Structure 1
């Protein structure tokens, strides 16, 4: 089933930009050393859903060390996502990402809460050219649990309140090859 993806589509970073967060795993080094992301998207209603159309909260997701994760991607000067290990994925792998909005990046603390990737949060308007961006715009959550973009009203995760009370956490999808799957189409 095809969903409309907009600014609400985003990538949840499990670690990466800033101080290391020791999240030990059973299948490898700490997540803070691996810098892997899960992927998810937003349904037409504005709620985050996994690609199998099941809405999940962090409570439903289980332990982080039992999840599979994707490599970190950045935006290259071509507009495509680039692996931080320098493996560039093709549009066959990722879809036409140069035609899409790009997504905010978060990391997960050892408590499971979302944290900013940087202290200085910027909107897409502030960030400039795609190839110069280090991280992506931050989204805030409304009182209803819907995500809102932060073009006009920038919020950090500190401003968001108790994220464990919001139902906007994803179930992630991992391809057989380990590459990012298209987050728009099955």
Structure 2
């Protein structure tokens, strides 16, 4: 069963906004579908990190796993009981998104929701909670990181191939 993660908006650079439009048109994927893919990809690449945080949270709150999952899914981290044992320095590894600093000038874009598996839904809630940012800022950094890392290697060649068959000529 897919879980709907509600969002209101995210921020994107003007350049990334144009790139997303161009690739959306070339691929036939909606912007919302692309953002959904980016979030799923981020969680997949960093699954071990976010699983570690979720397990740490369960342990430190001394709560039954099933109860913890139910509360996180249905109500969010705010509804969890307080920690019985505080998290000490060094127990949380460096945030894999910590190096991403968004540019000052960004455009606000609306988005309604993304669909995730139960595990990804929980991991995304965990990620946002431990990141310490708002949903929009977290999502914006995921989108920024994804486009920065993948545009030249994955997306630009596909967009270029829409108007030219030069890619078939080889590496001569």
Question: TM bucket by the smaller chain?
Answer: under 0.3
Structure with a larger share of its residues in strand? 1
> More relative contact order in 1 or in 2 (CA 8 Å, sep 6+)?
2
**The structure with more radius of gyration:** 2
Higher helix share: 2
Q: TM-score, normalised by structure 1?
A: 0.22
